[in-house]
């Protein structure tokens, strides 16, 4: 599995949160950080989209993080991730930068995932995504990390 993200996570406490989950992931998630694009907002998004596509393996299931994307429940997300892996198309998650994602990459994606209609900072989205991937694996393994005790 891969995560392609725009921008370098410089903040130590943010990196520690990502690492907390990353080290528990099986299969592992490799994180590719791409530099912020330059130019006008449209140029930035276009350049970043080219770099993102080049960083996603050819056979991967490209999943963009987008506020207008699909609202998964954690069990649904767990099933989806397992299904993509079983089908031989491990997910390549994509998180945009400060300008967001270019329309071309959203259209090209095989799936999209939303953390609600609020706009979140991209580094927080990275932390939340890595936690949800860990939760998805815990659900698939029947590990008590995920407790679904809603009334």
Ligand X SMILES: C[S@@+](CC[C@H](N)C(=O)[O-])C[C@H]1O[C@@H](n2cnc3c(N)ncnc32)[C@H](O)[C@@H]1O
Annotated binding residues for S-adenosyl-L-methionine: 65, 96, 115-120
Up-side HSE of residue 4: CA atoms within 13 Å toward CB? Answer: 23
DSSP, collapsed to helix, strand or coil, labels residue 80 as: helix
Applying CB under 6 A, the span of 22-30, 54-62, 96-104, 142-150 interacting with ligand X comes to 96-104
Q: How many other CB atoms sit within 10 Å of the CB of residue 51?
A: 14
Shortest spacing between CB 78 and ligand X, in angstroms = 18
Which residue, 37 or 96, has its beta carbon nearer to ligand X? 96
* Per CB under 6 A, 96 contacts ligand X: yes
Site for ligand X contains 74 (CB under 6 A)? no
Which residues in 10-69 contact ligand X (CB under 6 A)?
65-67
For the record, the structure tokens of 149 come out as 């005790």
91, β-bridge pairs: 61
Angle at 81 between CA 132 and CA 106, to 5 degrees: 85
Residue 100 interacting with ligand X (CB under 6 A)? yes
Tokens linked to 6: 């725009």
State the residues that interact with ligand X by CB under 6 A.
Answer: 65-67, 95-96, 98, 100-101, 114-116, 118-122, 125
């Amino acid at each position: 599995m891969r995560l392609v993200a725009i921008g370098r996570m410089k903040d130590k406490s943010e990196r520690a949160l990502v690492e907390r989950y990353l080290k528990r992931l099986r299969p592992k998630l490799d994180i590719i950080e791409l530099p912020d694009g330059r130019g006008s907002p449209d140029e930035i998004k276009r350049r970043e989209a080219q770099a993102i596509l080049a960083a996603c393996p050819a056979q991967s299931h490209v999943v963009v993080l987008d506020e207008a994307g699909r609202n998964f429940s954690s069990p649904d997300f767990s099933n989806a991730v397992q299904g993509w892996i079983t089908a031989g198309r491990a997910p390549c998650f994509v998180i945009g930068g400060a300008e967001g994602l270019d329309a071309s990459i959203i259209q090209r994606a095989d799936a999209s995932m939303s953390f609600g209609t609020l706009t979140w900072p991209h580094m927080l989205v990275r932390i939340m995504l890595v936690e949800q991937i860990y939760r998805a694996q815990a659900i698939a393994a029947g590990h008590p990390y995920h407790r679904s005790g809603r009334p």
